[in-house]
Amino acid sequence: MSEKMLAARFAEVVLPHLSDALSLARWLTGNQADAEDVVQEACLKAHAGIAGFAGGNSRAWLLTIVRNASYTWMARNRPRSVVAVGDLADLDDVSPPPDNDADSPEAVLISKANSAAVEAAITRLPQAFRETVVLRDINGLSYREIATMLGVPQGTVMSRLARARGLLMTELGGRHEPA
């Protein structure tokens, strides 16, 4: 492939998804300025590998590179904050939300939560839960795409998603405040 064709392909495959890329990197690294650095690095890698992109969902392809770049970046720049990704034993310590008290007023509370509260709640999620819920609910990937990206079975994606959302719902629904 000529350099010109590669450039055209880059413009077509990578550029339309920059907002998604920034959003994922921001949630993984925790701040906007770092996200831009990470996405720039990821785009360099994407450009280097663009000839090997076989078609299909270009957004999922780019986001996979962004995710890897985020963790590489964090390991290099903030080694202390990196949690072991995919360590399921850690995740089991996070208790699932209580099942009782399922009333609709809570749904009303959740839907009324302002975006600052929602952002704070997402930030507080354990890393593996956070990335799953961000990939699904903010970046809009399918279960299959997330499973491929994280290298875990689809069932694991489903259960992480349910746990992540459970924690978010508990927090936003006001049940975490002792009466």
Per CB under 8 A, residues contacting other proteins are 3-4, 6-8, 10-20, 22-23, 26, 32, 35-36, 39-40, 43-44, 47, 55-59, 96, 99, 102-104, 106-108, 110-111, 113, 115, 118-119, 122, 133, 136-144, 158-159, 161-162, 165, 168-169, 172-173
Q: Which is nearer to other proteins, 80 or 177 (CB)?
A: 177
Structure tokens belonging to residue 4: 């010109």
Instruction: Report in angstroms how near the CB of residue 30 gets to other proteins at its nearest.
Output: 13
Q: Which is nearer to other proteins, 80 or 145 (CB)?
A: 145
Instruction: Report in angstroms how near the CB of residue 152 gets to other proteins at its nearest.
Output: 15
Exposure string over 112-151, b if 16+ CB within 10 A, otherwise e:
ebeeeeeeebbeebbbbbbbbbbbbeebebeeebbbbbbe
Burial grade of 25 (CB within 10 A; 0-12, 13-18, 19 or more):
buried
Instruction: Report in angstroms how near the CB of residue 67 gets to other proteins at its nearest.
Output: 16
Could you tell me how far CA 108 lies from the centroid of its own chain?
Answer: 25
Structure tokens belonging to residue 59: 């957004």
> How far is 112 from 70, CA to CA, in rounded Å?
32
Q: Which is nearer to other proteins, 79 or 102 (CB)?
A: 102
> How far is 133 from 136, CA to CA, in rounded Å?
5
Instruction: Report in angstroms how near the CB of residue 119 gets to other proteins at its nearest.
Output: 6
Q: Which is nearer to other proteins, 68 or 142 (CB)?
A: 142
